[in-house]
Structure 1
């Protein structure tokens, strides 16, 4: 066994070895401890003293100061000096552990799974996962899509180009629409159409409700003789019941259906003492009701001073038919009156379907007609008015009226005011998924002579997100009818992608302000 192969010396063996040399050590300790000297040693004796320290120390006459014990005297310096590892450890009989400085050259590698690393990492991962799950699954209430309305301009109807009858002048209009088409604004004698004004004034002073008869008018033989005087002057008139009576309602029937001048004069004279007073009252009433284009000088229309322009007559017809008593009378084709017998309506247009009145007039071979007709256009009943002044005969005035009605009805057919696919709004989102709102179907209403409808849209997006889903309605109102169409999405509204959700938490949570 070599020194290198020897096992390490134990502490017990070191103590035993120290015990066997204790006397020698003690003696050495006694010898080497010297008292303080006051004189310097001679230089000649210096080498000898050194030799004595390296070898055995000779006794001295100086007494020892006392016993001295060396610290760690049991430690073997030779053992401690043996620090190098054997060259070849494979031949060693015992395990060998080098305690050289190279064991501490590199710091030991610390485990990544130690609690100081695992717990913070797990906590961070939990926070990140919770954030991701929250933002990815958070409902979009705070960032719901918004609707921006877009104004829709309705399409106007085609202007009506009328082919006006000749000769004379004429006009046509539609109830409920302010515009009136007229061939001329020149005034002309209106003849017995004046009786419509007379009826309105009488009922203004002596009103009747439908079904009421009103006061009685008594007649004598003188009144019957006067009837023949009217006929002699070639005026339209009806005989009267001698010794009998006619009610106010019957008098109005005779005046408006049979165009009896004697009935018109009798009705007016009961209220106004003269034609002049009647004329003042009539023209005042006409001005109050915006009928300035009409002038009245007496109640029958026999005087050519009773004039009107064709457009003003249409307004007169509208006001007359607004009175239910007049409307009922002028729509009657014939009536049996005491004293007069069966009276046929002079308005032969009543034989045409839809015609509801109102009055004819003839003076000096000038044939006039004021009429109204109701037609069904789609689901809407439309009333039209036509006036004809100065036609050559009764047939001419009827044909002229029919021609104007036909042209007007052709122009009144429903047309799309808003077409399907028209963009009526836009849906916008914070994440850039923008979709148009469009009209689902054509919105058609009845229009007249270049008129247009009004458009009003309401929106209710709610939870609609898919192409074609209804998100509102659009109301299209014409002057005569209205329609409603739905508004729908033109495409799908895409949800935000994960990246947008992860990068816009304040928007998602409604904290963006």
Structure 2
């Protein structure tokens, strides 16, 4: 039986060149080497082929990383700044105040000045002075407290007899101011108030007072209680006409009394009347000669022997604000001097309030800051002005509205500038540009951009 031909022998390493192997020196075994140096060849199988850096797996990873970097850069550079808006911080604005009032006082007597609505009265002295017929302001206030009237309302009628005519003559004989009465006729409460406050009729004041208070002592107690109830200190009243020298008030208290009187519309109307015709008395001229000035609105004269008083009010228009100023001159040697001194004091105060306090344009009201370090000031775009007097000061209050404003000149709100009597409002604007963040800041502050940290 014939055997089939043997298959060709297969070698494991067909790629090996046998001739090269035969020519190669035998492999050196270091364990059997005898020479100090031996050539050692690494095993051919121990050589690993080098991997290309451009193989697909590496290129995909690098490409992915580049895409991520590009996406990060684009996102941070284009991301809106909603999470890091600019912040406005209000600045401390220096207080704006008026200089202290320094009127020249009369050489004799006492005096005081004030401005309605502004705290503080400037007086030559705090010592009480005789009020004389200024006392009738207290009488009128007490009567209207007992029997109120509205403007245009006459009130109850009062009948007069020959006995009232005799009382009138008794007043004159004692040197007191008095007005004749309509014997057999009547006067209304309003007419009696007119005669008492315009013509300074002492008998009219007494007639009204006796309707509610039977004696001077009772009237004095009522006056004391009423004055205390209404916060009018520094005034002493002992009877209703003002003839008694015990009717006293400090100059500042006289101004407070006048202000209270003008707060009553009935009294305010009467004391601003230059003359009136009354039954029995005829035409009655106002004893306050300063009413010849249309700006003067009252208030009351007073006089004892060689002792003349006047308290007056005047309205001054400053811009769009009407300001009422007061002045009183007490204890002047003549009625002409009381008029001159009171008018001079009114003019002094009027001139002082006519100079409004100004907050200059360009006043720094705030500062805009950003997380990336940009900064811009917020300033007033025009001057503001209010009426101040005698150390009074104005308060400022900004209302910021930055919104999308970023350029110099952009409007960013309003500033209220307010004093005791009036207020002004001016605009606020950026004094410089609010620079945007740099690219580097955007790239290095992603957490702030995305609102992940404060």
TM-score by length of 1: 0.78
Higher relative contact order (CA 8 A, sep 6+): 2
Say if 2:237 is the partner of 1:237. no
Does 1:207 pair with 2:148? yes
Q: What secondary structure, in the 3-state scheme, does the structure 1 residue paired with 2:366 have?
A: strand
1:428 aligns with 2:374: no
The answer to whether structure 1 residue 164 and structure 2 residue 109 are counterparts is no
Residue of 173, 176, 188 corresponding to 2:114: 173
- More moved, 365-374 vs 429-438: 429-438
Alignment check: 8 A CA contact 2:316 2:354 kept: no
Deviations 1:184-229 (A, max 9, x none): 1111211111111110111111111111111111011221122222
Q: 1:261 is matched with which residue?
A: 202
Secondary structure of 1:141's counterpart equals coil
1:185-224 equivalence runs, <5 A: 185-224=126-165
CA deviation vs aligned residue, 1:440-483 (integer Å, no higher than 9, x gap): 22222111111111111121111111112121221111011111
Give matches, 1:95-106, under 5 Å: none
Partner residue of 1:455? 396
Verify: 1:248 aligned to 2:189, yes or no: yes
Alignment pair present for 1:116 and 2:57:
yes
Query: Does the Cα contact within 8 Å between 1:414 and 1:444 map onto a contact in 2?
Result: no
Cα 1:269–1:118 shift into 2, 3 Å: same
After TM superposition, the structure 1 = structure 2 runs for residues 41-120 of structure 1, keeping only pairs within 5 Å, are 110=52, 112=54, 114-120=55-61
2-structure distance, mates of 1:81, 1:339? 161
For residues 311 and 135 of structure 2, the distance between their equivalents in structure 1, rounded to whole angstroms, comes to 11
Distance 1:468 1:240 in 2: 73
Higher Cα Rg, which structure: 1
Give the RMSD, CA atoms, in angstroms: 2.6
Unaligned runs of 5+ in 2: 12-16, 22-43
What does 1:231-380 correspond to in 2, within 5 Å?
Answer: 231-380=172-321
Of residues 184-193 and 150-159 in structure 1, the stretch that sits farther from structure 2 once superposed is: 150-159
Q: Match for 1:406 among 347, 354, 360?
A: 347
Aligned counterpart, 1:148? 89
Deviation at 1:116, TM superposition (A): 2.9
CA contact (8 A) 1:417 1:476 kept: no
Provide closer, same or farther for how the CA distance between residues 81 and 455 of structure 1 changes in structure 2, counting only shifts above 3 A. closer
Tell me if structure 1 keeps the 8 A contact 2:357–2:388. no
Q: Specify the SS of the correspondent of 1:270.
A: helix
Unaligned regions of 5+ residues in structure 1, if any?
1-65, 85-101
Cα displacement string for residues 405-442 of structure 1 (whole angstroms, at most 9, x for unaligned residues): 12112221344453333322221111111222222222
1:298-336 Cα offsets, whole Å, 9 max, x none, are 111111111111110000000000111111111111111
Aligned mates of 2:215, 2:133 — CA distance in 1: 19
CA 1:354–1:72: 2 relative to 1, 3 Å: same
